[in-house]
């Protein structure tokens, strides 16, 4: 199950939903909003998603992981909208018979999701500047007059 969520995530409930007596291992990953990125003090984050394709691509990643690592269950939920420091931005959980597959699958899902799912992150800095991550071009971002110093 891959989904986007506009509201805060409840990791305990997400993990409970994966409960399965066949599983000997459950590995979860939480991505949190941290206060610095590449030396810049970050005050808030904004996530925007192309929802129909994000959901399809997310579901494909989970299906790949299920197959590749013989998982019993898997889920990934990603926040959208404005998030404050310390908030949970993304949650991944997997269950498998044994820990090796569970660790590997959890890593696979978060790595693939970051690389492939059409979700974008805008950072807000304490200077008042903002930037869309991974979208910088030579000369900075047009439209962000108050670009933070490099």
Partner 1 sequence: MKTVSVQYFAILREQRGLTEEKVSTTAATLAALYDELRARHGFTLPGDRVRAAVNDEFVAATAPLSDGVRVVFIPPVAGG
Contacts with partner 1 by CB under 8 A lie at: 31, 47-50, 52-53, 56-57, 78, 89-90, 110, 113-122, 132-135, 137, 139, 141-143
- What gap in Å lies between CA 106 and CA 117, rounded to an integer? 16
CB of 133 to partner 1, least distance (A): 4
CB of 54 to partner 1, least distance (A): 8
Q: How far does the chain reach from its first CA to its final CA, in angstroms?
A: 39
| Cβ-Cβ contacts under 8 Å for 49 (sequence gap 6 or more) | 4, 78, 80, 117, 118, 119, 120
| Nearer Cβ to partner 1 (72/76) | 76
CA atoms within 13 A on the CB side of 3: 7
| Nearer Cβ to partner 1 (48/97) | 48
| Nearer Cβ to partner 1 (101/109) | 109
CB of 136 to partner 1, least distance (A): 9
- What gap in Å lies between CA 1 and CA 103, rounded to an integer? 18
CB of 101 to partner 1, least distance (A): 21
Other beta carbons within 10 angstroms of residue 65's beta carbon come to 24
| Nearer Cβ to partner 1 (72/83) | 83
């Amino acid at each position: 199950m891959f989904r986007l969520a506009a509201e805060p995530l409840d990791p305990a409930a997400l993990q409970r939903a994966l409960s399965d007596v066949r599983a000997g291992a459950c590995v979860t990953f939480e991505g949190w909003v941290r206060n610095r990125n590449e030396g810049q003090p970050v005050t808030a984050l904004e996530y925007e998603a192309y929802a129909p394709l994000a959901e399809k691509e997310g579901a494909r990643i989970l299906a790949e992981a299920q197959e590749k690592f013989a998982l019993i269950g898997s889920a990934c939920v990603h926040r959208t909208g404005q998030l404050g420091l310390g908030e949970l931005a993304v949650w991944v959980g997997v269950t498998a018979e044994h820990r090796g597959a569970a660790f590997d699958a959890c890593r696979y899902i978060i790595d693939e999701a970051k690389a492939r799912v059409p979700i974008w992150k805008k950072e807000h800095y304490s200077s008042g500047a903002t930037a869309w991550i991974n979208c910088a071009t030579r000369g900075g971002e047009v439209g962000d007059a108050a670009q933070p110093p490099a």
